[in-house]
Amino acid sequence: MTSSSHETPGTVDDLLIVGFTEGFGPSAEGEDPWSVQLARVWTLGDFTGKEGSSVLLYPPTGPVARVLAIGLGKREELDAERIRHAAGEAVRAAREVGARRILFSPLGAPAPIDWVDAGAWTLEGALMGAYTHDVFRTEDLADRKVLDNVSIAMPDDQVDAAAPRLARARAMADAVAWARTRINEPGNVLTAETFAQAAVEMTLTRPALKAEILNKADLEQVGCGCLLGVNAGSEAPPRLIIVTYEGPGATDAAPVAIVGKGITFDTGGLCLKGRENMGQMKHDMSGGAAALGTIRLAADLNLPVRLVAIVAATDNMPGAAALKPGDVLKAHNGKTVEVIDTDAEGRLVLADALSYAVSRFKPRAVIDLATLTGSVWIALGTEATGLFTNDDTLGEAVRKAGERVGERCWPMPLWPEHEEIVKSDIADLKNAGARGHSDGISAAAMLKAFVHPTPWVHLDIAGTAWADEPKGYLTQGGVGVGIRMLIEALELGLPVSA
Protein backbone atom coordinates (compact mmCIF):
# COMPACT_ATOMS: atom_id res chain seq x y z
CA MET A 1 0.00 0.00 0.00
CA THR A 2 1.24 3.47 -0.82
CA SER A 3 0.45 6.88 0.59
CA SER A 4 0.89 10.39 -0.65
CA SER A 5 1.01 13.67 1.15
CA HIS A 6 -1.19 15.83 -1.03
CA GLU A 7 -3.94 15.08 -3.48
CA THR A 8 -7.05 16.79 -4.70
CA PRO A 9 -10.44 15.08 -4.52
CA GLY A 10 -10.48 14.68 -8.28
CA THR A 11 -7.65 12.14 -8.13
CA VAL A 12 -9.40 9.74 -5.77
CA ASP A 13 -12.55 7.99 -6.92
CA ASP A 14 -13.23 5.49 -4.13
CA LEU A 15 -13.77 7.21 -0.79
CA LEU A 16 -13.38 10.59 0.86
CA ILE A 17 -13.26 10.63 4.68
CA VAL A 18 -14.21 13.75 6.61
CA GLY A 19 -14.57 14.31 10.35
CA PHE A 20 -16.95 16.39 12.44
CA THR A 21 -17.04 17.26 16.11
CA GLU A 22 -20.25 17.38 18.11
CA GLY A 23 -22.31 20.51 17.41
CA PHE A 24 -20.30 21.58 14.36
CA GLY A 25 -22.10 20.08 11.40
CA PRO A 26 -21.90 20.70 7.66
CA SER A 27 -23.55 23.57 5.87
CA ALA A 28 -26.52 22.83 3.59
CA GLU A 29 -25.07 25.44 1.27
CA GLY A 30 -21.82 23.55 0.74
CA GLU A 31 -20.30 23.38 -2.70
CA ASP A 32 -19.91 19.59 -2.73
CA PRO A 33 -22.93 17.37 -3.46
CA TRP A 34 -22.20 15.21 -0.45
CA SER A 35 -22.30 18.17 1.94
CA VAL A 36 -25.93 18.78 1.06
CA GLN A 37 -26.70 15.13 1.76
CA LEU A 38 -24.84 15.21 5.06
CA ALA A 39 -26.55 18.42 6.16
CA ARG A 40 -29.87 16.64 5.71
CA VAL A 41 -28.70 13.68 7.77
CA TRP A 42 -27.41 16.07 10.45
CA THR A 43 -30.71 17.93 10.57
CA LEU A 44 -32.57 14.66 11.07
CA GLY A 45 -30.24 13.82 13.97
CA ASP A 46 -29.02 10.60 12.38
CA PHE A 47 -25.41 11.81 12.61
CA THR A 48 -24.30 14.27 15.29
CA GLY A 49 -20.49 13.98 15.36
CA LYS A 50 -20.50 11.76 18.45
CA GLU A 51 -17.24 9.90 18.89
CA GLY A 52 -17.32 6.54 17.16
CA SER A 53 -20.32 7.36 14.97
CA SER A 54 -20.26 7.46 11.19
CA VAL A 55 -22.46 7.73 8.12
CA LEU A 56 -21.71 6.59 4.57
CA LEU A 57 -22.92 8.81 1.71
CA TYR A 58 -23.18 8.23 -2.03
CA PRO A 59 -23.04 11.60 -3.81
CA PRO A 60 -25.09 11.63 -7.04
CA THR A 61 -22.34 13.62 -8.77
CA GLY A 62 -18.78 14.69 -8.17
CA PRO A 63 -15.29 13.18 -8.18
CA VAL A 64 -15.76 10.69 -5.33
CA ALA A 65 -17.99 7.61 -5.30
CA ARG A 66 -18.49 7.59 -1.54
CA VAL A 67 -18.04 9.90 1.42
CA LEU A 68 -17.59 8.59 4.95
CA ALA A 69 -18.35 11.16 7.66
CA ILE A 70 -16.99 10.16 11.07
CA GLY A 71 -17.68 11.60 14.50
CA LEU A 72 -14.76 12.98 16.48
CA GLY A 73 -16.60 13.70 19.73
CA LYS A 74 -16.45 16.87 21.78
CA ARG A 75 -14.31 19.56 20.21
CA GLU A 76 -12.64 20.52 23.50
CA GLU A 77 -11.50 16.92 24.00
CA LEU A 78 -10.00 16.45 20.55
CA ASP A 79 -6.28 15.67 20.63
CA ALA A 80 -3.61 13.79 18.71
CA GLU A 81 -4.47 10.36 20.06
CA ARG A 82 -8.19 10.71 19.35
CA ILE A 83 -7.41 11.78 15.79
CA ARG A 84 -5.04 8.85 15.27
CA HIS A 85 -7.58 6.36 16.57
CA ALA A 86 -10.43 7.90 14.56
CA ALA A 87 -8.35 7.66 11.39
CA GLY A 88 -7.56 4.02 12.10
CA GLU A 89 -11.22 3.17 12.65
CA ALA A 90 -12.15 5.04 9.47
CA VAL A 91 -9.69 3.01 7.40
CA ARG A 92 -11.15 -0.19 8.79
CA ALA A 93 -14.64 0.96 7.82
CA ALA A 94 -13.37 1.96 4.38
CA ARG A 95 -11.90 -1.47 3.80
CA GLU A 96 -15.21 -3.09 4.70
CA VAL A 97 -17.00 -1.27 1.86
CA GLY A 98 -14.28 -2.31 -0.55
CA ALA A 99 -12.58 1.07 -1.03
CA ARG A 100 -9.12 0.76 -2.53
CA ARG A 101 -8.12 4.43 -2.69
CA ILE A 102 -8.89 6.68 0.27
CA LEU A 103 -8.56 10.42 0.61
CA PHE A 104 -8.73 12.02 4.06
CA SER A 105 -9.55 15.58 4.85
CA PRO A 106 -7.28 16.17 7.89
CA LEU A 107 -9.40 15.25 10.90
CA GLY A 108 -10.08 18.10 13.29
CA ALA A 109 -8.74 20.84 10.98
CA PRO A 110 -8.69 23.75 10.74
CA ALA A 111 -10.35 24.13 14.13
CA PRO A 112 -9.49 23.20 16.80
CA ILE A 113 -6.40 21.50 15.27
CA ASP A 114 -4.19 23.28 12.74
CA TRP A 115 -3.82 21.78 9.27
CA VAL A 116 -0.30 20.44 9.67
CA ASP A 117 -0.84 18.68 13.00
CA ALA A 118 -4.19 17.31 11.89
CA GLY A 119 -2.76 16.03 8.61
CA ALA A 120 0.21 14.31 10.26
CA TRP A 121 -1.84 12.68 13.02
CA THR A 122 -4.51 11.58 10.55
CA LEU A 123 -1.99 9.97 8.21
CA GLU A 124 -0.13 8.25 11.03
CA GLY A 125 -3.31 6.73 12.46
CA ALA A 126 -4.68 5.80 9.04
CA LEU A 127 -1.54 4.00 7.90
CA MET A 128 -1.17 2.11 11.18
CA GLY A 129 -4.85 1.18 11.07
CA ALA A 130 -4.45 -0.05 7.50
CA TYR A 131 -1.84 -2.66 8.45
CA THR A 132 -2.70 -6.30 7.71
CA HIS A 133 -0.81 -9.55 8.02
CA ASP A 134 -2.47 -12.21 5.89
CA VAL A 135 0.48 -13.67 4.01
CA PHE A 136 -0.39 -17.20 5.09
CA ARG A 137 -3.89 -17.14 3.63
CA THR A 138 -4.28 -19.23 0.50
CA GLU A 139 -8.07 -19.24 0.19
CA ASP A 140 -10.63 -16.54 -0.60
CA LEU A 141 -7.94 -14.30 -2.04
CA ALA A 142 -10.48 -12.46 -4.17
CA ASP A 143 -12.37 -11.43 -1.02
CA ARG A 144 -9.44 -9.65 0.61
CA LYS A 145 -10.11 -6.02 1.38
CA VAL A 146 -6.99 -4.45 -0.12
CA LEU A 147 -6.05 -0.78 0.12
CA ASP A 148 -3.86 0.59 -2.63
CA ASN A 149 -3.54 4.19 -1.47
CA VAL A 150 -4.20 6.39 1.56
CA SER A 151 -3.80 10.12 0.94
CA ILE A 152 -4.24 13.42 2.75
CA ALA A 153 -5.86 16.41 1.04
CA MET A 154 -3.93 19.44 2.29
CA PRO A 155 -4.76 23.01 1.28
CA ASP A 156 -2.32 24.35 -1.31
CA ASP A 157 -0.91 26.93 1.10
CA GLN A 158 -0.13 24.20 3.70
CA VAL A 159 1.55 21.63 1.46
CA ASP A 160 5.15 22.78 1.97
CA ALA A 161 4.78 23.10 5.73
CA ALA A 162 3.09 19.71 5.99
CA ALA A 163 5.49 17.73 3.80
CA PRO A 164 8.13 16.90 6.45
CA ARG A 165 5.51 16.03 9.05
CA LEU A 166 3.66 13.77 6.66
CA ALA A 167 6.91 12.10 5.68
CA ARG A 168 7.65 11.50 9.36
CA ALA A 169 4.16 10.03 9.88
CA ARG A 170 4.69 7.63 6.99
CA ALA A 171 8.09 6.58 8.34
CA MET A 172 6.57 6.01 11.79
CA ALA A 173 3.81 3.81 10.41
CA ASP A 174 6.27 1.91 8.23
CA ALA A 175 8.57 1.12 11.18
CA VAL A 176 5.65 -0.01 13.31
CA ALA A 177 4.44 -2.22 10.44
CA TRP A 178 7.91 -3.76 10.12
CA ALA A 179 7.87 -4.65 13.83
CA ARG A 180 4.27 -5.92 13.70
CA THR A 181 5.12 -8.27 10.86
CA ARG A 182 8.03 -9.78 12.80
CA ILE A 183 5.80 -10.16 15.88
CA ASN A 184 2.95 -11.78 13.95
CA GLU A 185 5.15 -14.35 12.26
CA PRO A 186 4.78 -17.82 13.81
CA GLY A 187 7.61 -19.43 15.71
CA ASN A 188 8.42 -21.88 12.92
CA VAL A 189 9.00 -18.94 10.56
CA LEU A 190 10.67 -16.41 12.85
CA THR A 191 13.54 -18.18 14.55
CA ALA A 192 16.55 -16.49 16.11
CA GLU A 193 18.36 -16.98 12.81
CA THR A 194 15.62 -15.49 10.59
CA PHE A 195 15.15 -12.66 13.08
CA ALA A 196 18.84 -11.88 12.70
CA GLN A 197 18.51 -12.08 8.92
CA ALA A 198 15.67 -9.56 9.00
CA ALA A 199 17.88 -7.22 11.02
CA VAL A 200 20.69 -7.54 8.52
CA GLU A 201 18.36 -6.99 5.57
CA MET A 202 17.02 -3.72 6.98
CA THR A 203 20.58 -2.36 7.15
CA LEU A 204 21.34 -3.06 3.48
CA THR A 205 19.35 -0.05 2.26
CA ARG A 206 20.30 2.19 5.19
CA PRO A 207 24.02 3.08 5.09
CA ALA A 208 23.94 4.61 8.58
CA LEU A 209 23.04 1.20 10.06
CA LYS A 210 25.59 -1.55 10.61
CA ALA A 211 24.68 -5.07 11.73
CA GLU A 212 26.74 -7.61 13.62
CA ILE A 213 25.40 -11.04 14.55
CA LEU A 214 26.93 -13.23 17.26
CA ASN A 215 26.29 -16.96 16.77
CA LYS A 216 26.43 -19.70 19.36
CA ALA A 217 30.20 -20.04 19.20
CA ASP A 218 30.60 -16.29 19.56
CA LEU A 219 28.28 -16.27 22.56
CA GLU A 220 30.30 -19.01 24.20
CA GLN A 221 33.48 -16.99 23.62
CA VAL A 222 32.10 -13.76 25.16
CA GLY A 223 30.50 -15.62 28.05
CA CYS A 224 26.75 -15.13 27.52
CA GLY A 225 25.91 -18.11 29.70
CA CYS A 226 22.37 -17.02 30.50
CA LEU A 227 21.30 -16.74 26.85
CA LEU A 228 23.01 -20.05 26.10
CA GLY A 229 21.27 -21.65 29.08
CA VAL A 230 17.82 -20.62 27.88
CA ASN A 231 18.68 -21.92 24.42
CA ALA A 232 19.93 -25.30 25.68
CA GLY A 233 16.62 -27.10 25.11
CA SER A 234 16.24 -25.86 21.55
CA GLU A 235 17.32 -27.28 18.22
CA ALA A 236 17.46 -23.73 16.79
CA PRO A 237 20.71 -21.91 17.70
CA PRO A 238 20.63 -18.51 19.45
CA ARG A 239 21.73 -15.16 18.13
CA LEU A 240 22.77 -11.87 19.68
CA ILE A 241 21.69 -9.20 17.20
CA ILE A 242 23.64 -5.93 17.27
CA VAL A 243 22.73 -2.97 15.06
CA THR A 244 24.47 0.40 15.37
CA TYR A 245 23.41 3.79 14.05
CA GLU A 246 25.62 6.84 13.63
CA GLY A 247 23.43 9.89 13.07
CA PRO A 248 24.74 13.09 11.52
CA GLY A 249 26.99 15.01 13.91
CA ALA A 250 26.72 12.41 16.66
CA THR A 251 29.84 10.30 16.16
CA ASP A 252 31.62 11.65 19.23
CA ALA A 253 28.70 11.17 21.61
CA ALA A 254 28.21 8.11 23.80
CA PRO A 255 25.35 6.06 22.37
CA VAL A 256 21.95 5.27 23.77
CA ALA A 257 21.53 1.50 23.97
CA ILE A 258 18.13 -0.03 23.25
CA VAL A 259 17.95 -3.64 24.35
CA GLY A 260 15.13 -6.02 23.45
CA LYS A 261 13.98 -9.42 24.61
CA GLY A 262 13.88 -11.69 21.56
CA ILE A 263 12.22 -14.92 22.66
CA THR A 264 10.83 -16.10 19.35
CA PHE A 265 8.56 -18.63 21.04
CA ASP A 266 8.12 -19.30 24.73
CA THR A 267 6.84 -22.66 25.90
CA GLY A 268 8.00 -21.92 29.44
CA GLY A 269 10.72 -24.53 29.15
CA LEU A 270 10.46 -27.38 31.66
CA CYS A 271 8.16 -25.12 33.72
CA LEU A 272 5.71 -25.58 30.87
CA LYS A 273 2.99 -23.01 30.30
CA GLY A 274 -0.65 -24.06 30.12
CA ARG A 275 -2.18 -24.55 26.68
CA GLU A 276 -4.39 -21.45 27.05
CA ASN A 277 -2.93 -18.63 24.95
CA MET A 278 0.37 -20.42 24.40
CA GLY A 279 -0.06 -19.76 20.69
CA GLN A 280 0.37 -16.07 21.40
CA MET A 281 3.83 -16.71 22.79
CA LYS A 282 5.21 -16.05 19.31
CA HIS A 283 4.99 -12.39 20.37
CA ASP A 284 7.51 -12.84 23.20
CA MET A 285 10.05 -11.13 20.96
CA SER A 286 8.04 -7.88 20.78
CA GLY A 287 10.70 -6.02 22.74
CA GLY A 288 13.34 -7.12 20.25
CA ALA A 289 11.16 -6.04 17.33
CA ALA A 290 10.66 -2.66 18.99
CA ALA A 291 14.40 -2.19 19.56
CA LEU A 292 15.17 -2.92 15.90
CA GLY A 293 12.18 -0.92 14.68
CA THR A 294 13.37 2.07 16.70
CA ILE A 295 16.88 2.11 15.26
CA ARG A 296 15.45 1.53 11.76
CA LEU A 297 13.18 4.55 12.18
CA ALA A 298 15.99 6.68 13.60
CA ALA A 299 17.94 6.04 10.40
CA ASP A 300 14.91 6.80 8.21
CA LEU A 301 14.39 10.10 10.04
CA ASN A 302 18.13 10.88 9.99
CA LEU A 303 18.11 11.65 13.71
CA PRO A 304 21.31 13.30 15.01
CA VAL A 305 21.90 10.64 17.66
CA ARG A 306 24.10 7.62 18.18
CA LEU A 307 22.29 4.38 18.95
CA VAL A 308 22.94 0.70 19.41
CA ALA A 309 20.15 -1.89 19.40
CA ILE A 310 20.85 -5.29 20.93
CA VAL A 311 18.45 -8.22 20.83
CA ALA A 312 19.01 -11.53 22.62
CA ALA A 313 17.19 -14.03 20.39
CA THR A 314 16.27 -17.66 21.03
CA ASP A 315 13.21 -19.77 21.69
CA ASN A 316 12.54 -21.40 25.06
CA MET A 317 11.92 -25.12 24.57
CA PRO A 318 11.67 -28.17 26.88
CA GLY A 319 14.23 -30.32 25.08
CA ALA A 320 16.36 -33.08 26.54
CA ALA A 321 19.15 -30.65 27.42
CA ALA A 322 16.81 -27.92 28.61
CA LEU A 323 17.53 -25.66 31.54
CA LYS A 324 16.25 -27.09 34.84
CA PRO A 325 15.01 -25.39 38.00
CA GLY A 326 17.95 -25.29 40.37
CA ASP A 327 20.57 -24.87 37.63
CA VAL A 328 23.08 -22.04 38.02
CA LEU A 329 24.14 -19.94 35.03
CA LYS A 330 27.05 -17.53 34.65
CA ALA A 331 26.14 -14.27 32.93
CA HIS A 332 28.27 -12.13 30.63
CA ASN A 333 29.42 -9.88 33.48
CA GLY A 334 30.45 -12.86 35.64
CA LYS A 335 27.47 -12.80 38.00
CA THR A 336 25.88 -16.18 38.72
CA VAL A 337 22.12 -16.72 38.58
CA GLU A 338 20.16 -19.54 40.17
CA VAL A 339 17.26 -20.63 37.98
CA ILE A 340 14.10 -20.85 40.06
CA ASP A 341 11.67 -20.83 37.14
CA THR A 342 12.53 -21.73 33.53
CA ASP A 343 9.52 -19.65 32.44
CA ALA A 344 11.31 -16.58 33.79
CA GLU A 345 13.69 -16.80 30.85
CA GLY A 346 13.32 -13.24 29.59
CA ARG A 347 15.29 -11.73 32.43
CA LEU A 348 18.03 -14.29 31.83
CA VAL A 349 18.59 -13.38 28.18
CA LEU A 350 18.26 -9.68 29.01
CA ALA A 351 20.92 -10.03 31.70
CA ASP A 352 23.48 -10.98 29.07
CA ALA A 353 22.26 -8.41 26.54
CA LEU A 354 22.29 -5.56 29.07
CA SER A 355 25.71 -6.49 30.41
CA TYR A 356 27.11 -6.78 26.89
CA ALA A 357 25.67 -3.39 25.93
CA VAL A 358 27.14 -1.66 28.96
CA SER A 359 30.59 -3.24 28.84
CA ARG A 360 31.18 -2.94 25.10
CA PHE A 361 29.45 0.32 24.12
CA LYS A 362 29.66 2.39 27.34
CA PRO A 363 26.25 3.98 26.66
CA ARG A 364 25.07 7.18 28.30
CA ALA A 365 21.68 5.54 28.85
CA VAL A 366 20.10 2.12 28.40
CA ILE A 367 16.45 1.39 27.68
CA ASP A 368 15.18 -2.16 27.48
CA LEU A 369 11.81 -3.43 26.28
CA ALA A 370 10.43 -6.85 27.14
CA THR A 371 7.20 -8.80 27.37
CA LEU A 372 8.49 -9.84 30.73
CA THR A 373 5.89 -10.54 33.41
CA GLY A 374 2.24 -11.38 33.78
CA SER A 375 2.17 -9.42 37.03
CA VAL A 376 2.57 -6.11 35.18
CA TRP A 377 -0.23 -7.12 32.84
CA ILE A 378 -2.40 -7.88 35.89
CA ALA A 379 -1.47 -4.58 37.55
CA LEU A 380 -1.84 -2.25 34.56
CA GLY A 381 -3.91 -4.22 32.05
CA THR A 382 -3.49 -3.37 28.39
CA GLU A 383 -3.57 0.39 28.86
CA ALA A 384 -0.07 1.06 30.16
CA THR A 385 3.48 -0.25 30.09
CA GLY A 386 5.25 -0.76 33.40
CA LEU A 387 8.24 1.59 33.73
CA PHE A 388 11.09 0.83 36.12
CA THR A 389 14.21 2.95 36.36
CA ASN A 390 17.34 3.71 38.35
CA ASP A 391 17.27 7.33 37.12
CA ASP A 392 14.08 9.31 37.71
CA THR A 393 15.03 12.06 35.25
CA LEU A 394 15.50 9.57 32.44
CA GLY A 395 12.36 7.67 33.41
CA GLU A 396 10.24 10.81 33.39
CA ALA A 397 11.53 11.78 29.95
CA VAL A 398 10.48 8.40 28.56
CA ARG A 399 7.12 8.56 30.32
CA LYS A 400 6.34 12.01 28.87
CA ALA A 401 7.32 10.86 25.40
CA GLY A 402 4.92 7.95 25.74
CA GLU A 403 2.10 10.31 26.69
CA ARG A 404 2.72 12.40 23.58
CA VAL A 405 2.37 9.46 21.20
CA GLY A 406 -0.40 7.60 23.01
CA GLU A 407 1.82 4.88 24.52
CA ARG A 408 1.28 5.34 28.22
CA CYS A 409 3.76 4.20 30.84
CA TRP A 410 3.18 3.95 34.57
CA PRO A 411 6.12 4.36 36.98
CA MET A 412 6.63 1.30 39.18
CA PRO A 413 8.68 1.15 42.38
CA LEU A 414 12.22 -0.18 42.39
CA TRP A 415 13.66 0.32 45.86
CA PRO A 416 16.80 -1.11 47.50
CA GLU A 417 14.60 -3.47 49.50
CA HIS A 418 13.50 -5.11 46.26
CA GLU A 419 17.05 -6.16 45.51
CA GLU A 420 16.87 -8.47 48.54
CA ILE A 421 14.07 -10.42 46.83
CA VAL A 422 16.37 -11.76 44.13
CA LYS A 423 19.37 -12.68 46.26
CA SER A 424 20.13 -16.39 46.08
CA ASP A 425 21.37 -18.68 48.82
CA ILE A 426 23.73 -20.49 46.44
CA ALA A 427 24.49 -17.90 43.74
CA ASP A 428 24.68 -14.14 43.35
CA LEU A 429 21.08 -13.82 42.16
CA LYS A 430 17.99 -15.88 41.43
CA ASN A 431 15.63 -15.33 38.53
CA ALA A 432 12.40 -15.25 40.52
CA GLY A 433 11.36 -14.02 43.94
CA ALA A 434 9.36 -15.87 46.55
CA ARG A 435 5.61 -16.25 46.23
CA GLY A 436 3.84 -13.09 47.35
CA HIS A 437 6.34 -10.71 45.76
CA SER A 438 5.48 -8.89 42.55
CA ASP A 439 7.21 -10.74 39.74
CA GLY A 440 7.46 -7.53 37.71
CA ILE A 441 9.39 -5.83 40.50
CA SER A 442 11.64 -8.81 41.19
CA ALA A 443 12.44 -9.07 37.47
CA ALA A 444 13.41 -5.40 37.34
CA ALA A 445 15.47 -5.77 40.51
CA MET A 446 17.42 -8.60 38.92
CA LEU A 447 18.00 -6.68 35.67
CA LYS A 448 19.29 -3.67 37.59
CA ALA A 449 22.29 -5.73 38.68
CA PHE A 450 23.42 -6.02 35.04
CA VAL A 451 23.28 -2.35 34.11
CA HIS A 452 23.71 -0.22 37.24
CA PRO A 453 25.04 2.48 37.61
CA THR A 454 24.38 3.34 33.95
CA PRO A 455 21.13 5.35 33.71
CA TRP A 456 18.52 2.80 32.71
CA VAL A 457 14.82 2.37 32.01
CA HIS A 458 13.12 -1.01 31.87
CA LEU A 459 9.81 -1.14 29.99
CA ASP A 460 7.69 -4.20 30.75
CA ILE A 461 5.36 -4.34 27.73
CA ALA A 462 3.66 -7.62 28.65
CA GLY A 463 0.22 -6.00 28.63
CA THR A 464 0.68 -3.57 25.75
CA ALA A 465 2.51 -5.60 23.10
CA TRP A 466 -0.47 -7.59 21.79
CA ALA A 467 -4.05 -6.69 20.88
CA ASP A 468 -6.71 -9.41 21.01
CA GLU A 469 -8.98 -7.34 18.78
CA PRO A 470 -8.60 -4.21 16.66
CA LYS A 471 -9.11 -0.85 18.31
CA GLY A 472 -8.46 2.43 16.52
CA TYR A 473 -5.07 2.20 14.86
CA LEU A 474 -4.21 -0.93 16.86
CA THR A 475 -4.74 -3.91 14.60
CA GLN A 476 -5.27 -7.40 15.98
CA GLY A 477 -2.02 -9.10 16.91
CA GLY A 478 1.35 -7.46 17.43
CA VAL A 479 1.13 -3.78 18.33
CA GLY A 480 4.70 -2.59 17.78
CA VAL A 481 4.56 -0.66 21.05
CA GLY A 482 7.62 1.34 22.10
CA ILE A 483 8.97 2.48 18.73
CA ARG A 484 7.14 5.79 18.49
CA MET A 485 7.68 6.47 22.19
CA LEU A 486 11.44 6.00 22.01
CA ILE A 487 11.78 8.06 18.85
CA GLU A 488 9.80 10.85 20.51
CA ALA A 489 12.07 10.61 23.56
CA LEU A 490 15.20 10.73 21.41
CA GLU A 491 13.92 13.75 19.47
CA LEU A 492 13.12 15.58 22.71
CA GLY A 493 16.44 14.60 24.26
CA LEU A 494 17.14 12.04 26.96
CA PRO A 495 18.34 13.84 30.11
CA VAL A 496 19.80 11.85 32.99
CA SER A 497 20.31 12.81 36.62
CA ALA A 498 23.54 14.58 37.40
The residues carrying an active-site annotation are: 273, 347
Backbone angles phi, psi at 5, to 5 degrees: -85, -25
Closest to 162 measured CA to CA, from 85, 202, 104, 222? 104
In the chain, what is the straight-line distance between the N-terminal and C-terminal CA atoms, in Å? 47
Cα separations (Å) of 195 from 190, 199, 285, 370, 487? 6, 6, 10, 16, 22
Closest to 111 measured CA to CA, from 5, 17, 6, 24? 24
CA atoms within 13 A on the CB side of 363: 30
CA atoms within 13 A on the CB side of 73: 11
Report the C-alpha dihedral over residues 181, 187, 189, 190, rounded to 10 degrees.
60
- E runs forming strands in 317-442: 328-330, 336-338, 365-370, 385-389, 409-411, 429-430
Q: Over 245-264, what HEC string results?
A: EECCCCCCCCCEEEEEEEEE
* CA distance linking residue 309 with residue 114, whole number of Å: 36
* CA distance linking residue 367 with residue 239, whole number of Å: 20
Using the CB atoms, write b or e for 449-471: b if 16+ within 10 Å: bbbeebbbbbbbbbbbbbbeeee
Q: Which helix (H) or strand (E) holds 417?
A: helix 416-419
* CA distance linking residue 465 with residue 183, whole number of Å: 9
Cα separations (Å) of 178 from 132, 184, 190, 294, 299? 11, 10, 13, 10, 14
Closest to 82 measured CA to CA, from 48, 244, 90? 90
For the purposes of burial, counting CB atoms within 10 Å of the CB of 51, is it exposed (0-12), middle (13-18) or buried (19 or more)? middle
Closest to 131 measured CA to CA, from 73, 92, 74, 167? 92
* CA distance linking residue 478 with residue 183, whole number of Å: 5
What radius of gyration do the chain's Cα atoms show? 24
